[in-house]
Amino acid sequence: MNTYKVPELRIHAILPESVANGPGKRTVIWVQGCSLGCAGCFNPQTHSFHQGTRVNPLELAQEILSQQTSIEGITLTGGEPLFQIEALESLLSTLRANSSLSVILLTGFEWDEIFRLQGDRLFPYVDVIISGRFIKEKRLAQSFIGSANKEFHFLTTRYSLSDFQDVPVCEITISPEGNTFITGIDPLAW
Ligand code: SF4
């Protein structure tokens, strides 16, 4: 008998709670792996497809669901999430079927490229897609979207552009283990 094995999701990091990566308090998942090569990328440590941690997306979904009362949703970023469509579909379909958590997906692909890559396969599970390459000349010194050319695509009525206007531009989190996360763009690094 053939058994279907759910593809693993390669992740760079997870921040359980953030208020600077979309509206409300959100779990942020940085996936590992990107070959888009945007000049001036602020997250080069996420590029290798051989690093990071491989996780079962169904187990990750259960972990997020166990915390669902303390967050509004999740934000997927990277790295490039759309290089891992099958694993993402397992994660996101499980979340959508079992919660009202919202999903924001940041991708370096342009809108037409997204269709060529995955059609509308992930659309039923995503509320907002923020698309487009990071363009150094258009970078925003602060903000989780990176550069001003990025396009917002609202796939559900859950959010509108005004919901993103009050998102803090930068956030520094120190975990109990002493690990520091800086989200949004680190203005000190430029
Ligand atoms: S898509 Fe994102 S992670 Fe990939 S190179 Fe561009 S800015 Fe960096």
Q: Which atom of ligand 1 is nearest to the CA of 37?
A: 5
Percent of the chain exceeding pLDDT 70 equals 94
Residue 71's pLDDT band, with cuts at 50, 70 and 90, is very high
**What is the chain's alpha carbon radius of gyration, rounded to the nearest angstrom?**
16
pLDDT at 159 over 80: yes
Among 44-53, 79-88, 129-138, 175-184, the minimum mean pLDDT is found in 175-184
pLDDT at 38: 96
pLDDT at 189 over 80: no
pLDDT at 177 over 90: no
- In this prediction, residues 35-57 reach a mean pLDDT of 95
Cα 98 to ligand 1 centre (Å) = 31
Of all protein residues, whose CA lies closest to atom 3 belonging to ligand 1? 79
- In this prediction, residues 1-25 reach a mean pLDDT of 90
CB atoms under 10 Å from CB of 85, counted, come to 15
Cα 160 to ligand 1 centre (Å) = 24
pLDDT at 76: 98
Average pLDDT across the chain, whole number = 92
Cα 29 to ligand 1 centre (Å) = 15
pLDDT at 18: 94
